[in-house]
């Protein structure tokens, strides 16, 4: 495999290990519902530090990651500031924000993304998947990076999303799609068994013939290949005779087809003239394998997503909505439909306007699921835009809109333009007849068509989707070497989360903590204890030491497992513990317990 090389790689290769843990600090007034770090989360802070803060709680638990990182077109104005202090790269890090004229902008993008991808990899469950949207600027670098971090065999596919249908005449080539890179911790064949198929008809069920069995969709009554007993003539109710298309046969034998007709399972399109199709009810529908091209007609465009954002924030000035091109709800809902279960956790560490959380709530509302979202946003709009969108979507919101009614559409040709007086007369007539029905009438020429539209402003109320979330910021770094000096004294759970994850590589469960008897939690093979209080005098007292009696008490709680004890001091040697068959291992505080890189 060809490795990705970029300036500064050697300094950021394991930088994610050196990033200090910071506790999540809930701000109760900015969320909805009681504080719950195991529920929906919106975290405001640098996403590298936020991912490290989330890691003790969610390592190996996230089923789906969707991120929309900076595309690095040279116009974003984002800056790389991960505080990598190596003198050799300080100079080029300090040339932020990067611009299109910066010859090192691709190196900087890679240096910014590398430690974040490393942490995101740790967050994924064994069968979890990561979906990354990019354009042509960095997609090739991203694939090389993901190949190196995840492994080439974890590459699932590269998809194309048709993000726009209008033509950009100022461009060399009018960009119409974005890439979506898809990787999984599982190998491709394993992930295939875990992923979901798409609904065969999304929103296509109806009941035009009042079938008592309910809504249905129709599927073709043909099959590939040639089977002699499935090639025969079919006569429609209107008398039209049909044979299978060349190279195909009917989907069943003639007796089977007659049975389907008798059971009212055959639909005749084109008012009875068309080739037969078979009714398919939702409970009998087979799913579809996702394709690598997702059209705008299926999952929407950036223009539609902007309109949705303007609807939700109809009381904001458009300039306040700083998101350049938000992704559509339908796009992320499709990813959720493929990649998650009804109780999965979905993470977006470049949250922007919060479309991912909106899509999660929408999916839950549709199928009754209990999926959870985790959003991370580092910009200052995390509260007023990202979290505010969730408040409105959950509780409902009033929006001001414009209802548009097309009054005239006429294709223009030179012959018609020469008769412009007639065209003007037609427009005047329409305005005279309908102007009183609308606030204003607009005229425009678009794609060679003259379009006259009546527009009427209105105020409506959008019903909320329901749900809760906790809003958090990041606390001071948990720097273990400063604990006993008193410079930093993190709360018990904050310090315990960092120590538990670093020592075990398992996610920390706050519900398992018993602070009164210094218990942090357990893995399959060991229990973890932390003798600690956020009190400098107590930490320096004999009460903070591991004694033989305390070690025996810890071990007695479960004699079948090993016990790991963090403490500022001890009054018993490891040798004595071994001699007395006490399965306890002492780890001193402060202790920089960085796990060895296992990649």
Instruction: Give the pLDDT confidence score for residue 183 in this predicted structure.
Output: 98
Instruction: Give the pLDDT confidence score for residue 457 in this predicted structure.
Output: 79
Coil, helix or strand at residue 576: helix
User: If you ran DSSP here, which 8-state letter would residue 384 be given?
Assistant: I
Overall size of the chain counted in residues: 599
Structure tokens at 210: 């009042």
Helix (H) or strand (E) holding 58: helix 47-58
**Span of 14-28, 385-399, 444-458, 532-546 with lowest mean pLDDT:** 444-458
Bridge partners, 457 (sequence order): 402
- Alpha-carbon distance 257 to 521, whole Å? 63
- Alpha-carbon distance 586 to 577, whole Å? 10
- Residues 6 or more apart from 520 whose CB is under 8 A from it? 496, 499, 500, 508, 512, 513, 528, 529, 530
The full DSSP string for 530-554 is: E---S-HHHHTSGGGEE-HHHHHHH
Helix (H) or strand (E) holding 188: helix 188-194
468-503 pLDDT tens trace: 999 999 988 887 667 666 677 888 988 899 889 888
The answer, yes or no, to whether residue 128 has pLDDT greater than 90, is: yes
The answer, yes or no, to whether residue 324 has pLDDT greater than 70, is: no
> Which residue intervals of 468-542 are DSSP H helices?
492-504, 536-539
Cβ(301)–Cβ(328) under 8 Å?
yes
- Alpha-carbon distance 555 to 569, whole Å? 18
Higher pLDDT pick, 95 / 321: 321
Peptide bond connecting 97 to the previous residue in cis, omega within 30 degrees of 0: yes
Instruction: Give the pLDDT confidence score for residue 515 in this predicted structure.
Output: 95
Bridge partners, 376 (sequence order): 43
Cβ(386)–Cβ(312) under 8 Å?
no
| Residue from 569, 589, 592 nearest 483 by CA | 589
The answer, yes or no, to whether residue 369 has pLDDT greater than 70, is: yes
Sheet containing 526-530: order of strands: 519-522, 526-530, 562-567, 584-588
Angle between helices 492-504 and 47-58 (to 10 degrees): 80
Q: What is the mean pLDDT of the chain?
A: 87
Q: Model's pTM, two decimal places?
A: 0.75
Helix, strand, coil share (%) of the chain residues, nearest 5? 35, 25, 40
Q: How far is CA 421 from the centre of its chain?
A: 54
Higher pLDDT pick, 368 / 413: 368
- Alpha-carbon distance 489 to 472, whole Å? 20
The answer, yes or no, to whether residue 134 has pLDDT greater than 90, is: yes
- Domain regions of the chain by residue span: 9-138+301-396, 217-284, 399-461, 478-588
Strands 569-570 and 241-242: unpaired
Bridge partners, 546 (sequence order): 570
Average of per-residue pLDDT across 192-211? 78
- Look up the CATH architecture of domain 9-138+301-396: 3-Layer(aba) Sandwich (3.40)
- Alpha-carbon distance 499 to 495, whole Å? 6
Average of per-residue pLDDT across 545-552? 95
Instruction: Give the pLDDT confidence score for residue 1 in this predicted structure.
Output: 65
Instruction: Give the pLDDT confidence score for residue 94 in this predicted structure.
Output: 64
């Amino acid at each position: 495999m060809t490795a990705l090389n970029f300036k500064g790689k050697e300094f950021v290769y394991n930088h994610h290990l050196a990033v200090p843990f910071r506790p999540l600090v809930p701000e109760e007034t900015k969320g909805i519902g009681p504080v719950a770090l195991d529920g929906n989360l919106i975290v405001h802070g640098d996403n590298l530090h936020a991912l490290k803060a989330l890691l003790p709680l969610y390592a190996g638990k996230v089923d789906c990651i969707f991120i929309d990182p900076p595309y690095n077109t040279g116009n974003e104005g984002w800056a790389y500031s991960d505080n990598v202090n190596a003198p050799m790269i300080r100079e080029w890090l300090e040339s932020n924000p990067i611009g299109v004229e910066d010859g090192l902008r691709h190196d900087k993008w890679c240096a910014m993304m590398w430690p974040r991808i490393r942490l995101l990899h740790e967050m994924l469950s064994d069968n979890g998947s990561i979906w990354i949207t990019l354009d042509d600027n960095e997609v090739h670098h991203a694939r090389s990076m993901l190949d190196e971090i995840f492994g080439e065999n974890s590459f699932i596919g590269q998809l194309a999303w048709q993000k726009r249908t209008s033509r950009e005449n100022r461009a060399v080539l009018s960009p119409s799609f974005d890439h979506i890179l898809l990787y999984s911790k599982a190998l491709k064949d394993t992930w295939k068994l875990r992923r979901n198929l798409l609904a065969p008809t999304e929103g296509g069920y109806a009941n035009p013939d009042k079938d008592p069995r309910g809504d249905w969709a129709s599927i073709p009554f043909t099959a590939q290949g040639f089977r002699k007993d499935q090639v025969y003539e079919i006569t429609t109710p209107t008398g039209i005779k049909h044979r299978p298309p060349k190279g195909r046969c009917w989907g069943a034998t003639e007796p089977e087809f007659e049975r389907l007709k008798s059971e009212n399972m055959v639909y005749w399109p084109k008012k009875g003239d068309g080739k037969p199709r078979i009714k398919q009810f939702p409970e009998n529908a087979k799913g579809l394998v996702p394709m690598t091209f997702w059209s705008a007609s299926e999952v929407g465009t950036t223009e539609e997503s902007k309109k949705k954002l303007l609807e939700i924030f109809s009381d904001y000035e458009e300039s306040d909505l700083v998101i350049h091109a938000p992704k559509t709800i339908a796009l992320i809902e499709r990813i959720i439909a493929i990649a998650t279960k009804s109780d999965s956790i979905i993470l977006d560490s470049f949250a922007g306007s919060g479309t991912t959380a909106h899509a999660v709530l929408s999916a839950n509302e549709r199928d009754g699921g209990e999926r959870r979202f985790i959003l991370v946003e580092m910009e200052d709009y995390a509260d007023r835009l990202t979290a505010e969108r969730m408040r409105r979507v959950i509780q409902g919101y009033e929006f001001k809109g414009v209802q548009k009614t097309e009054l005239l559409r006429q294709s223009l040709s030179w012959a018609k333009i020469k008769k412009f007086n007639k065209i003007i007369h037609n427009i005047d007539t329409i305005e005279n007849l309908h102007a009183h029905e609308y606030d204003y009438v607009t005229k425009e020429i678009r794609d060679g068509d003259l379009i006259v539209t009546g527009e009427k402003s209105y105020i409506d109320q959008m019903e909320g989707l329901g749900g809760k979330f906790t809003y958090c910021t990041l606390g001071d770094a948990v720097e273990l070497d400063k604990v006993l000096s008193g410079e930093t004294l993190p709360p018990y759970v904050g310090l315990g989360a960092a120590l538990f994850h670093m020592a075990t590589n398992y996610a920390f469960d706050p519900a398992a903590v018993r602070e009164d008897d210094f218990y942090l939690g357990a893995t399959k093979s060991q229990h973890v204890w932390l003798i600690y209080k956020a009190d400098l005098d107590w930490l320096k007292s004999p009460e903070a030491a591991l004694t033989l009696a305390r070690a025996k008490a810890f071990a007695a709680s479960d004699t079948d497992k090993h016990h790991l004890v963090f403490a500022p001091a001890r009054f018993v040697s490891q040798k004595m513990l071994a001699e007395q068959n006490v399965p306890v291992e002492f780890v001193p505080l402060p202790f920089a317990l960085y796990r060895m890189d296992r990649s």
